[in-house]
Amino acid sequence: MKKSLLILFLVSSLNLFGQNDREWFVRANGNVVQNYIFDGGADLGLGVHLGYIPSTKTERTWRPYFLFGIETIPFCFSSVSCNSFWYDYNFRVQGGLERTVFRSETSKVKLGFGASVFAGKMLTGRYTLERDGVIISQEYDKGFEGAVSPQFSVKYFDKRISEKITFGYVFDWAFIDGNMIHGLILDWRIQAR
């Protein structure tokens, strides 16, 4: 394990590909989770992630990106107020490729395609006992579950706004679980070389 971490550190520390800078950043995101299978509900969430983009030869190539973070939907801590079958809290690993599709002297737009892996505590079942249209009782099940989703992103950077901040939109589709995750993101560059 120690050797693997050392190798990962050395590879990420070296500028293997040349001219385009590698980048470390912190991402804050606000999410809307829509469930389209069960109740058709939606919940609001937020998260924070640490991200890394290794260096590449040119800005116009597809560049890999990696993120690890934690997210939460505060309303889902109480099963009664949770409108979707999603996590009350989860860990999330993201990875993919992004490319600059528009560049001017002060701004640039990037498109990205990748995947997310989620793991955490989620609402897994809701049971309602009704008699003559009157709810007699409700029970909820929660469990530790995993999920995967393809991901699409659009990011916008403008030097006139900030030298360190990038804004964007990320869409994840966890189709097996019946959830779409729409995220507004803010990336804060903490180190570039």
| Domain annotation covers residue 173 | yes
Nearest in space to 180 (alpha carbons), one of 93, 84, 88: 84
pTM of the predicted model, to two decimals?
A: 0.78
Per-residue pLDDT 10s for the chain (193 aa) are 555 544 445 455 444 444 557 889 999 999 999 887 766 678 899 999 999 998 877 666 899 999 999 999 887 777 666 777 778 889 999 999 999 999 999 999 999 999 999 998 877 777 777 888 787 777 777 788 889 999 999 999 999 999 899 999 999 998 887 889 999 999 999 976 5
Look at the chain and report how many structural domains it folds into: 1
| Domain annotation covers residue 47 | yes
Nearest in space to 176 (alpha carbons), one of 152, 150, 153: 150
DSSP 141: E
- 115 is in which domain, residue-wise? 18-192
| Strand-pair partners of 117 | 93, 148
- The CATH number that applies at residue 140 is 2.40.160.20
